[in-house]
């Protein structure tokens, strides 16, 4: 797998603490660089990471929570060309769990949107969900 970039977006509602939203993202992806952009209602947190290191925490969580088969199905469903797009529940991420979500209406506070770009996304899905 060559160049891997991970783009993360999550809305911060006016009632939410931005530090808690940052922690939710870090619980899944480790240390990432954040930018917060104000919006008409609340703000948008944008985070970026690169390489397999940026995804190793997610890989470990998928293994620990024994949801690799389900994750594999969700990741292949989100495969578009050289991108994989999927959504995670923000509240579950805050407590260090991976729970896949729909883009709208499933999570009351809104989901975390993840877009992974790489040259061989199928190989990346295999790596993320590999059975050891």
The range of the structural domain enclosing residue 66 comes to 4-128
Which residue, 77, 96, 94, 95, is CA-closest to 85? 77
pTM over 0.85: yes
The domain total for the chain is: 1
pLDDT at 132: 63
pLDDT in tens, 104-129: 766 778 899 999 999 999 999 999 99
Model pLDDT for residues 32-89, shown as the tens digit of each residue: 989 999 999 899 999 999 999 999 999 999 999 999 999 999 999 999 999 999 999 9
CATH of residue 117's domain is 3.30.1440.10
């Amino acid at each position: 797998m060559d160049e891997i970039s991970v783009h993360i977006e999550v809305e911060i509602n006016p009632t939410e603490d931005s530090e808690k939203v940052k922690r939710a993202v870090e619980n899944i992806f480790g240390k990432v660089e954040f930018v917060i952009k104000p919006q008409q209602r609340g703000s948008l947190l944008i985070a970026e990471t690169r390489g397999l290191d940026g995804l190793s925490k997610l890989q470990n969580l998928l293994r620990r929570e024994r949801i690799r088969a389900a994750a594999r199905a969700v990741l292949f469903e989100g495969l578009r060309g050289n991108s994989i797009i999927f959504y995670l529940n923000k509240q579950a991420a805050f407590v260090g769990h991976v729970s896949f979500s729909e883009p709208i209406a499933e999570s009351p506070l809104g989901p975390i949107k993840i877009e992974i770009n790489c040259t061989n996304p199928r190989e990346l899905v295999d790596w993320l969900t590999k059975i050891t």
